[in-house]
Structures are given as C-alpha cells and as structure tokens.
Amino acid sequence: RIGSATSQSSAVINDRLQELVKLFKERTEKVKEKLTDPDVTSDDETPVASPAEAPPPPPGQEPEAAKAAEDEHCCEMLCCTFKYRPWLDRVKNYQFPSSIDPLTNLMYVLWLFFVVLAWNWNCWLIPVRWAFPYQTPGNIHYWLLMDYLCDLIYLLDIVIFQIRLQFVRGGDIISDKKAMKENYLKSQRFKMDVVCLLPLDFFYFKVGVNPLLRFPRCLKYMAFFEFNNRLEAILSKAYIYRVIRTTAYLLYSLHVNSCLYYWASAYEGLGSTTWVYDGEGNSYIRCYYWAVKTLITIGGLPDPKTLFEIVFQLLNYFTGVFAFSVMIGQMRDVVGAATAGQTYYRSCMDSTIKYMNFYKIPRAVQNRVKTWYEYTWHSQGMLDESELLVQLPDKMRLDIAIDVNYSIVSKVALFQGCDRQMIFDMLKRLRSVVYLPNDFVCKKGEIGREMYIIQAGQVQVLGGADGKTVLVTLKAGSVFGEISLLAAGGGNRRTANVVAHGFANLFILDKKDLNEILVHYPESQKLLRRKAKKMLRNNNKPKDDKGGPGDSIIIPPRPSTPKLFQAALAAAGKVGGKGRLAHLRWKLKELKAMQA
C-alpha cells in the first residue's frame, strides 16, 4: 500500500513538472523572440466587456414593450380575441412620400406603367374609332368611360407625382416641396401635359363625339420615353424589351396605315374600284393585310385607278421604304448591342487560334486553350472582369469588391485583426483566374508570390512519396498560400503541389500588391509579420510522439558506475576500509539500496 501511494504521488508530481517545464519553455521562446524582433507584441488582447443586462422588472409589473406587442393588432369581441391584419394597418397608416427619386423608386416606375397604358389606349384606338365604324351610339358610353379614366390618370400624374419628383441643381439633390413644384411648372413637360388635357371634349355638344378631338392626348410621349429608360435600368436583359419595343413601332406604323387605307376606301366608296376595300370580311384584318403588303413592298396589289388612289399609293410606297429601312436599322442596332459581348469573345478566340496555328502549337495545347475560353465565357460572361470595372470610379469599384469578395477574405486567419481599410484596399487588387482540370495551381519548391482564394470549384493538395497522394481537398471559400506573402529567408517556398480538381475559379493576391498596401498601414504590417512567423514556426515544428505516462521522465535515472571506477573501488576495498575511495564505495551502496 505504501508503494502504491508513493507511485501515484510520484506520477502526479511528474505530470506537474512536465506542465511547468512546458510553460517555462514557451515563456523563454516568447522572451527570446521579443529580444530578436522588436515588432513583436503580446498576443493577449483586452477582453470585450459583456453587455450589461437590463434590470428585471419589479414583480407584478410587465415591460412596456411586451404590453405594446401584446395589445397590438388585437381587439375583443364578446368572449373572443381577434387580431387585425397587419397589411390593413399598413394601408390605413400609409403616408404618401413628400419627394420621389425618379431614378430608383420602383413605385414611380409602376405608376409610369399605368400612364403609358393610358397613352397607348389613345394612340392605338383614336385612329381606329375615327376610321372604322366601331364606335356606335350603342357602345358610346363604354368608349367615353375608358377615355375619362385615362384622363384621370393624366391628371393624377400632374397633381400627385410630377410635382414631387426630385431633381439636381448645382450637384445637389433638391427634395424641397416648393422647389420641386416650381421646377416642374417651369419645365417643358408641364407645358406638354397641359396641352394633353385641353378640354376639347366640350365640342362634343356641337359636332358630336368625334375621336379626333382627343388627338392631343397622344402628345404625352415624354412619359413613354421616360418609362423606357427606367425599365431598361432595372431589367437584367434589357435587349429583350428593346426588341419588343422596336417590333411594336413596326406594328403601330402598319396599324396607322391600315386606318388610312380604310378612310381612303370610304372616301372613294367601298367597292367602287378594284383598288379600294370591297367591304367584305373583317374590315380591320383586310386593311391591315393590305398595309403590310404595301409598306413592306411585297407586291401583288391591284393598280390604282383614280388620281387620288395613285397619289395615296405613291405616298404609301415612299413612307413604307423609309419606315422599313429605319426599323431594320434600329433592329440591327438592338441585336448588335445584345450580342456585342459574344462578338468580342468570338473575335478573341479566332485571333488566338490563328496565332497558335501560325506557330504550330501542339493540338493538345490548342484544345486546352479553347476549353479555357469556352468555360470562362460561359461561367462569368466575360473574359476579363476588370475591363468592366475600369470605367467606374474608385468608390464604386470598392463597393462591388466588398459585396463580392469581403465575406471570403474576412475569414482568412492571417488578416483577422488588421485594419479594415487595409482589407478594403486589398480587395481591389484581387484578380480572378480560371484553372482547368488537372492544372497545377502551384508546385512544390517554387517561390511563392501569391495567395489564393477559392471562389468556385475545388483544388487538391498532393504529397506523399510519389507526390500523387491527395492530402486534402479544398473547397469554395478556402484560402491557401497566405504565408508566402510575408515569409522571408526561404520561408516562401511551396511545400506541396496544388492541382485543380475540375474547373476552379480562384482569386489571386500578389505579394507586390500587398507590400504596396502595407506601406500605408505599419501597425497591420507588424501584426501580419508576427502572425506569419508564428504560422511558419508551427508548420516547421516536428510533431511530438505521445507515449504513456511512464515514457517521459523529468528526472532521469542515475547512470550506472563505470567498470574502471568499480575496479578501482574493489582494489581500494582490498587495501583497506579507510580513505576517499572507501567512502565513495559506501555512498554507492547507499544509492543502490535507495534505488532498490
């Protein structure tokens, strides 16, 4: 029992001594590092103060916020409690904004949509009601109802929206109510809006309901073009809307021509000649078919007979050639703008292929170059992202870089604790590179001058005796090569091969760019230098083999007595028990007894 208790106490003492030795060793290394490098500071940081908790409410009294949340949207009826619908309260309590930003306010774009609908009603149906016999005394009240509904939209646009539009004066955004109203009243648009609402409808009492008296309603074209600009600014594929709008221009020109043809036929007399409309079938469809054949100059039309018919046909031909050529040119511009990027990609790829064929590059290399072009274009829609951001000011480029890259860079352990503005400057220096499957991102032993951040895809770290064993697979958001940015004295050598596993899109930060940034941030430079040395020391430190509790002994056992010394002691013992050698022999026996 005494022996077992002694062994347990000695094991506890041995463990404690091991901990003390380890702490002394770490402290010695820190002091040594501080003496050799004056930039090293303490790793300890000031702890963040925990937020003070709010005092609990006195008993019998609930917090006011809880009461407000409980009483909100509730009402009592008989023995039941019902909740109001939140959206009804929002509608009741909604206040119209005192000023409207016409460039970013989606509510204003929606309102312009209704204004444009009213404008299209007038532009498309006024010619139809004037030329064709579709407006009759039996349905006149429906036409008038829609007309005055459109007039109400025009009036609300003037009274509510246009006088609240913000504008820029001397570089400042003016949102004062009085200033916005005066700006609108002095503008050309206000004059056109007033002309649009001229009350010519009072002439209905004298000449009857003539649709031509509503022709000024078609002069509100400024709202149409403004709606086009605002809608194209918020659409991701604006070229589709441009194609639809250009097609609508062509259809409207044919629509007006068909109305004019029916009017000319009615003026000459329906069916009076072979050229005019004979009055059979659907009048609008027949006249529209004639307008298409005339404006597009298909041919196959009957020859005009009278002078009026000849002049009308000549004007139609001239107008058709002019309008059709304009439409074709505009459609070409729209399609060309929509495919400008694809054309640039094809031209770059064709030039590269021509260059490789001229210098007789091997076919395998040419296929990899073509694969890179195709994947880069289809994955990001461009060959070089920096080309799009060159025209933007520095502040906007920084905002885009923060939205795209900050969430990844902020997770890098090397940059945690650095100046936030330094990280922002570093984001603008990142460049995107696409690697093909089995491409070497970096090789073992080469000088490291870049840090890599995986944006998409995966990379594999290879090692082992053959250099082909996959040690680890890094996925999107991982970072590697960060030590090489600040390591010196041979510490910037790559320690393993990194290969792209499939297509990989990486962000690269050059060592040169980082050094240019750190010149302006000395504190962050000291922090990065200390972290890089610590990370490099941890990587180079050999791994300790963990053994049993009896393997590591703080006080080693006493070495055995040398044989020559034992022979001398034996000789001294034969001579006599006195002298220094005899005393040493007696001590040796005591030590052996203690060890036993």
User: What are the structural domain ranges in the chain?
Assistant: 96-234, 237-383, 392-540
518-535: pLDDT as tens digits: 888 888 888 888 887 777
What pLDDT is attached to residue 407? 78
Instruction: Give residue 186's pLDDT.
Output: 93
pLDDT digits (tens, 9 = 90+) for 105-152: 899 999 999 999 999 999 999 999 999 999 999 999 999 999 999 999
215-219, 254-258, 374-378: segment of lowest average pLDDT: 374-378
- CATH superfamily, with its number, for domain 392-540: Jelly Rolls (2.60.120.10)
| pLDDT score of 78 more than 60 | no
Task: Supply the pLDDT for residue 165.
Answer: 92
Residue 64 has pLDDT above 50, yes or no: no
Contact 389, 397 (CB under 8 A): yes
CA 543 to chain centre: 43
Average pLDDT of the chain to the nearest whole number: 80
Lowest-pLDDT range, 28-42, 368-382, 565-579? 565-579
Q: Is 0.75 topped by the overall pTM?
A: no
| Mean local confidence (pLDDT), 404-413 | 76
Alpha carbon 98 to chain centroid distance? 32
Question: How far apart are the C-alpha atoms of 498 and 511, rounded to whole Å?
Answer: 19
**Long-range residue pairs from 156-164, CB within 8 A, at least 24 positions apart, any chain:** 157/111, 157/115, 157/193, 157/223, 158/190, 158/193, 158/197, 160/96, 161/100, 161/108, 161/111, 162/189, 162/190, 162/193, 164/97, 164/98, 164/99, 164/100
pLDDT greater than 80 at residue 83:
no
Tokens matching residue 57? 């409410």
Asked if residues 295 and 252 have their Cβ atoms less than 8 Å apart, the reply is no
CATH class of the domain whose range is 237-383: mainly alpha
pLDDT at 126: 94
> pLDDT tens digit string along 479-512?
888 777 776 555 577 878 899 988 888 888 888 8
